[in-house]
Amino acid sequence: MLKIFFKKQQQIESLIYKYLEIIKTTERHFSEALNTCIDNGLCDHFHFLVEQTHKFESRADDVREEIKTLMYGKALIPESRGDIMGLLESIDEIPRIFELILYMIKTQKLTIPDLIIQDIRELIDVSLESCDLVFKQVEILFKREEGIRKIVSTIDHNESHCDHIERHLITNIFDSDLDPFQKLQLKDLIINMGEIADQADRVAKRVNIISMKRSM
């Protein structure tokens, strides 16, 4: 019985690593899509990358469901199931935000004006750095290694920096001579971009709580 239990535990951890790899791929497609949009507008390659982002986001959902099925088949002790599923659902919000941003650009046919491109790039770069740190943090959690709290601190700093960039961007947009409707569209886009770092911060804190509960 104990041998079966540990085998299922290993299966779950293996699936979680697979899940993280798929989300990392989703992130790469998102980043490339956004850079393509900034550099070349709503070209065919941008549309292709939007669909790739959607495809891998859906794959991540499928793996998450597979993990859920295994976990509720008595693969984990009951009190740990809620923590792990809550963590995965929280992580899942990140690729959902990627997809939301890209479809917002695609469906509203948004163009990013030159006056905010540099700040947009910085906002996304810092946000994706936080995402990468979250993925590393989750791997540390399952490998039972040290370093989770230090990563939380870095992600928290990044989130504050992104809030500053977001406010600066929105101020610049409304101080500009852009069309009023375009200003509102860009404001919504910036707010959603800012949500990436916010969600990474939420996930990081959730991982930290799970880690602390283990040590109690």
Domain boundaries, the chain: 2-215
Q: Would you say residue 104 has pLDDT above 50?
A: yes
Tokens of 85: 């599923």
For residue 211, the model assigns a pLDDT of 87
Mean pLDDT score across all residues of the chain: 91
**All residues at 6 or more sequence positions from 178 whose CB lies less than 8 Å from its CB, including other chains:** 113, 186
Query: 43: left (phi > 0), else alpha (psi -120 to 50), else beta?
Result: beta
Average pLDDT over residues 138-164: 92
* pLDDT tens, residue by residue, 66-92: 988 887 775 555 547 788 889 999 999
For residue 75, the model assigns a pLDDT of 52
For residue 84, the model assigns a pLDDT of 87
Average pLDDT over residues 40-59: 97
Return the CATH superfamily for domain 2-215: Phosphate transport system protein phou homolog 2; domain 2 (1.20.58.220)
User: What is the value of pTM for the model shown?
Assistant: 0.92
Query: 17: left (phi > 0), else alpha (psi -120 to 50), else beta?
Result: alpha
Amino acid at 35: N
Run of H or E residues at 138: helix 114-143
In the DSSP assignment, the letter for residue 187 is: H
